[in-house]
Structure 1
Amino acid sequence: MDALDQRLLDEFQRGFPLTSRPYAEIATRLEVSEAEVIDRLRRLTDDGAVRRVGAVFRPNRVGASTLAALAVPPERLEDVAGLVGAFAEVNHNYAREHWLNLWFVVTAPDAERVAQVLAEIATLTGLTPLDLRLERDFHVDLGFRLWN
């Protein structure tokens, strides 16, 4: 990852341009071509550095979502994380040092599909997800400086 990749990720995780050609605006700010911005984002996605480029909405304002957790035997953690992360409805998953050691967010068009994804994960993994539905929301800004 070079300095331009770092700037692209750091400077546009918030304040993504809401225009008809956002990549052109980003390119202008970075002093490169629109094609280069698109190519870099595609490569970063293919390499796993970026999961997706898109809007983030407040929970349950558009569709339905839940935070879920699994207690995964340590020797299965990487495999189970791969299975969970393969669902299009899973925004991200991450390991934690806790008996519930794999956490993930499921977002879908409706609560029925969220429940279906959790059931499919249970069937695929043989593990029962803990469904931690939102009771009260708090705004947490997940953007942070990636590099100095």
Structure 2
Amino acid sequence: MQLDSLSRRLIDRFQHGMPLCAEPYRAMAEALECSEEEILASLEQLERSGGLSRIGPVFEHSRAGASTLVALAVPVARVEAVAARINSFPEVNHNYLREHDYNLWFVVTGPDRAHLDALLAQIEAETGLTPLDLPMECAYRIDLGFPIGDAP
């Protein structure tokens, strides 16, 4: 995916620190010295091309409830079906296929640990696969952004 200059500047500037105001897209446009329409068009293009999955906050899970990293050892022939079922749970975010015996990795977030335990039990009952539950003990660094910079 080739990014235009505005898209690069938009991503660099607003991966962190989205304006918290009544008209955030207007504030973004002012910061990037362009029109609100250009911001919206750029975001729409990023979404259409698969470069943008969502716009929204990332909450500190320990303050908003409970969260855990989960891995499943899914037979290759079942990966697509199991991934689709996992994705259907609203508590699931970040679902990835990885090269390992434990090949499907995802994050589950809920209001409390009991909710997560019930969900993991449901996943095991429905899939016949035992979730490897890996709750975070200590966060050393969590940063979901990275610099895009100028076009190569």
Instruction: Name the TM-score class by shorter chain.
Output: 0.7 to 0.9
Contact 2:26-2:35 within 8 A present in 1 as well: no
Amino acid at match of 2:85: L
Aligned-partner Cα distance in 1 for 2:128–2:38: 43
TM-score by length of 2: 0.77
**Larger-Rg structure:** 2
- Matched positions, count: 147
Deviation at 1:39, TM superposition (A): 6.3
Give the match for residue 109 of structure 2: 107
Q: How does 1:13-28 map to 2 (within 5 A)?
A: 13-28=15-30
Percent identity reads 49
After superposition, give the CA deviation of every residue in 1:15-69 in whole Å (9 maximum; x if it has no partner): 2122232222123334132x66456546755775434322223331211111111
Cα distance change, pair 15–101 in 1 and its aligned pair in 2 (3 A): same
Give the structure 2 partner of residue 67 of structure 1.
69
Any unmatched runs of 5+ in structure 2? Answer: none
Cα deviation code 1:93-134 (max 9, x no counterpart): 111111111111111112222222222222332212111112
Q: Which amino acid aligns with 1:75?
A: A
Poorly superposed stretches of 4+, deviation over 6 Å: none
Q: Which runs of 5+ in 1 are unaligned?
A: none
Question: CA-atom RMSD, angstroms?
Answer: 2.6
